[in-house]
Copies of this chain bind each other. A is one copy, B any other.
């Protein structure tokens, strides 16, 4: 499980190249962090108290007054709204600066490309080299500084807001890497988005700001407050990216939360509005705009935006976008999985880390080269320019000839002397579609929202132009001629496709805020809802897809109207064979329980007969208990005592301090005795104890996780090694010099035997006294709700205080994903097979069956072993 430097870097590379995996034990990390915070809090309060006590001595009043003043100031600084204003301000500045730099970069490319128009080869080189250099730099920079900055960031934020701590995700290094990496990546002109990374940047900003402000006051250390602030930060991220406060709040809620506390609502609105306001004010001050208006302002007519009879066309856009969105997510995942699977490619890319980004950029920029293929797909327009032209309120198709456009420039790019505008649009859509799906797999900070948005707009425009060509005088019957506005269709298409890819409805609101017009509200809403319905039935959202690829700890949503979920009960999915320890168990029992499986917490029951649940204990706590009992210091203590008794045989006690070679010898001896016999786990503990066999000679540390033996019989040894591979080892080595260890292997084995039979002393053990409990009849629906509401990892199932089962995220996930059969009905969403990524569906059931079998035939040791190992690998793969 532990790896050395090179290994870790290789792993990290895999992570950053193609949505890596998280094999770190995040839960343990979270617990440690919490403990650290708790302790520091206690220390703080202690120091406070001593301060107050000191004050009582002399000059008390004066000091108390000062303290109060200080407290008042601190409490003001600690107010939420000051924090939110600061956050909004900072993010608006960041957003504006990033935009400014991106614009500069793109201008520079255009200038270079325009200046070299004499030589087409030079022009091509300039067109291609520029983005390749920028993307390569971005990838390399991010890679070196903070690999966590790669990608969108929304999936990670979703996981963090669920209560999981992702290490290194909210540090200053990541912030710098993300901002600079993003600027370079977008400056290259690749079809990448800014919005996902901005959610991450805003969260980083909030975390850093919170850390900074905790220098003034104490309340910033509260965890639930931090999560509230992070939720607000996500809203700010979207809000200041699009100058869309309402849409930003809603989008961030839909994308990151499962349950949303309405009381936090105002935070998001407040911060996002302020941020959007500052962001647009900066544009006014920079003389880009005359006043505050929308980012992509449209000028559709107000009095008759669309006819009722056009609605079927809008519905068609919605449904097609739904399929398109699902295809995009599928394509994106396919590319990642393809490159991961191809081992030769993968190996080669692992060596030359920057080759993949460079290659992808080369392909994409070659294809968009304006004098080349790019002329058929408006290749010379930047993303922003394309969007502005697509949302234009004129009709292209009817006028037909380029000359009729009374304004030169961007819109002309869509017109080609040889080919129709329809062909240009179709080519644009098709090419950009796979390009965007490919580009978002490059390991740079980037999002997919904006590219998808533009593709959607183009698709809408295509439908709109077709409609305009079909009904040149509009559809309306009663006298007045109202032409069809293809721009409106583009708005609808943009909202629908981006909604389908992200599984959100709030893209509708974003579209209104982006265009500054809400006249197409009904078509947009209808299309977005239809697109969502289709896409949700076919594929997970892009962010959920990335969560799966990255194997982040997540809980899938209950699907779109699968009401069978109401009929599954906890008793159908729970694991009945719970690993537990009793209040009066021996260290041998503890040892046995720790050998089996890798559960992070174990249930503590009163006794095996009563099975009354008293609490849960973390695995690490039990490990340290066992280490204390069997550890070298305690054995040395024992030796010392023994030697005190046998004084006549030994010379003196003083020689304890200087025998280093002995300790070296000892460290290569057998340290731990492993019993392959499992009866210690059985509740009643009555069977005869078999003699223990030393199963593991600890000669060298196994360093590569890939070298873990897969044979179930060897597993117990490895499990024990894993058990003790962290701090205890180091501790033991440090203490080596304390006493002379003259015990033989046999003596050690005997001593350990003796120790294992003692009763466990839980007094210094941290116990969670109120683990979450469910009842057998709790429905899957309710269980899911509770798990996602409270961010649970597992819950015990009790019946009148008696522990009868346990449900963990794994069981829940399996039940939701439809691999559990209940009462003969296969609970499986209609197109679930499309979603499966080849997991063995019934392994859990098998395991449970085996466990039951085991309980009946305690002497058979093989099935248990097998189960444990299968459980282990299962959990490791998460």
A residues touching B (Cβ–Cβ < 8 Å)? 78-81, 219, 222, 224-225, 245-246, 250, 253-254, 257-263, 265-266, 269-270, 273, 276-277, 280-281, 284, 290-294, 297, 299, 302-308, 476, 478, 505, 508-509, 512-513, 516-519, 521-522, 525-526, 529, 532-533, 557-558, 560-561, 563, 566, 604, 606, 612-615, 767-770, 773-775, 779, 781-782, 785-786, 789-790, 798-802
Contacts and interface: CB of A to CB of B under 8 A. Distances in A.
A261 B258 contact: yes
Nearest to A276: B522
Residue of A517, A521, A779, A782 ringed by the most chain B CB atoms within 10 A: A521
A525 B269 contact: yes
Given A246-B525, A291-B308, A779-B224, A532 B266 contact: yes
Contacts of A291: 304-308, 476
A246 B520 CA distance: 13
A593 to B, nearest CB: 19
A263 B789 CA distance: 12
Given A246-B525, A789-B259, A801 B614 contact: yes
19 contacts: A219-B563, A225-B781, A246-B509, A266-B529, A270-B529, A273-B529, A280-B522, A293-B305, A293-B519, A512-B512, A513-B521, A516-B519, A604-B800, A612-B614, A612-B801, A767-B800, A768-B775, A769-B802, A770-B774
A96 to B, nearest CB: 16
Within the oligomer, what is the number of copies of this chain?
2
B516 A566 contact: no
Nearest to A557: B263
Contacts of A790: 786, 789
B308 A613 contact: no
Q: Which 3 A-B pairs have the closest CB atoms?
A: A614-B801, A770-B773, A80-B561
A273 B478 contact: no
Given A308-B281, A522-B280, A799 B224 contact: no
Given A273-B529, A614-B800, A773-B773, A566 B219 contact: yes
Given A225-B781, A293-B303, A293-B305, 10 more contacts: A81-B561, A224-B781, A224-B785, A254-B262, A258-B262, A269-B525, A270-B529, A290-B304, A614-B801, A615-B800
Contacts of A262: 253-254, 257-260
A607 to B, nearest CB: 11
Contacts of A782: 224
A802 B767 CA distance: 13
A770 B779 contact: no
B769 A526 contact: no
Contact of A246 (B224, B269, B508, B519): B508
B519 A801 contact: no
A768 B604 CA distance: 21
B224 A558 contact: no
Nearest to A284: B308
A474 to B, nearest CB: 11
A31 to B, nearest CB: 15
Contacts of A508: 246
A221 to B, nearest CB: 9
Contacts of A253: 262
Given A262-B253, A800-B767, A224 B566 contact: yes
Nearest to A558: B263
A383 to B, nearest CB: 23
Nearest to A297: B302
A769 B779 contact: no
A79 B303 CA distance: 38
Contact of A505 (B263, B265, B566, B606): B265
B308 A525 contact: no
Residue of A291, A305, A476 ringed by the most chain B CB atoms within 10 A: A291
A685 B613 CA distance: 26
Nearest to A517: B518
A769 to B, nearest CB: 4
A284 B80 CA distance: 48
A522 B513 CA distance: 10
A294 B512 CA distance: 14
Contacts of A529: 266, 269-270, 273
Given A253-B262, A519-B516, A774-B770, A505 B269 contact: yes
A225 B563 contact: yes
A525 B245 contact: yes
Nearest to A523: B292
Contact of A245 (B519, B521, B606): B521
Nearest to A307: B291
Nearest to A267: B561
Nearest to A219: B563
A613 B80 contact: no
Contacts of A613: 801
Nearest to A218: B567
Contacts of A270: 529
Contacts of A560: 266
A292 B303 CA distance: 10
A318 to B, nearest CB: 11
A540 to B, nearest CB: 13
A534 to B, nearest CB: 12
Nearest to A775: B770
A392 B132 CA distance: 55
A195 to B, nearest CB: 18
A561 B798 CA distance: 38
Given A269-B525, A563-B80, A790-B789, A769 B512 contact: no
